[in-house]
Amino acid sequence: MFCAYEFKSHYRKENNNSRPYILIYIFLADYIHICKRNDVHVAKCIRESIEIIRPKLKNGITELGVPGLEPLRIDEIEIFRGDDSSNFKAVLKNVDVSGASEFKITKLKLDVDKNTYRIGVRFPGLDLTGDYDINARVLVAPIKGSGKFYANVSKYNV
């Protein structure tokens, strides 16, 4: 896809009444589809566009500076939970997630005027590996530990 835009300058040369202009060329990959905000089917257009580009997200799109989703690296995740009788704290580090590129869009609601979007995503399966550090108390029993972890998550909805 090729787009050209002209921007006319307000600058005038002293002895010439002509206005210089700048011509900008923008090249988009043929798999990039632009959805128009005023299209009554904009949500459908966005879903279709995501499905077209989704296979390319696995390894990333270097020409657009988009990193790959496989594996997806998360530096740190902190999980807290607690009350008086029990508490739980886990820190996961250097987490590699495989399977993120297999996502499916389950819901997409847009309010274009307010620029708000609600999206539902389902991951059929995710494999996580990394390091953990856990400090918990269940009633009066303390639980502490650290090391490597592996987790398999099926049918995860966000």
Q: Map out the domains of the chain as residue ranges.
A: 2-157
Q: What pLDDT, on a 0 to 100 scale, did the predictor assign at position 26?
A: 52
Written as one letter, the residue type at 100 is: A
Q: Which two tokens stand for residue 107?
A: 């819901």
Q: What percent of the residues of the chain are helix, what percent strand, and what percent coil, each to the nearest 5? A: 15, 55, 30
Q: What pLDDT, on a 0 to 100 scale, did the predictor assign at position 10?
A: 41
Three-class SS of 49-114:
HHHHHHHHHCCCEHHHCECCCCCEEEEEEEEEEECCCEEEEEEEEEEEEECHHHCEEEEEEEECCC
Q: What pLDDT, on a 0 to 100 scale, did the predictor assign at position 28?
A: 60
Q: Which two tokens stand for residue 5?
A: 């835009």
Cα-Cα-Cα-Cα dihedral sign, residues 68, 72, 122, 127: positive
pLDDT under 50 in the chain at which residues?
A: 1-15, 25
Q: What pLDDT, on a 0 to 100 scale, did the predictor assign at position 91?
A: 92
Q: What pLDDT, on a 0 to 100 scale, did the predictor assign at position 13?
A: 46
Class of domain 2-157 (CATH, top level): alpha beta
Q: What pLDDT, on a 0 to 100 scale, did the predictor assign at position 8?
A: 41
Q: Give the C-alpha separation, 64 to 74, whole Å.
A: 21
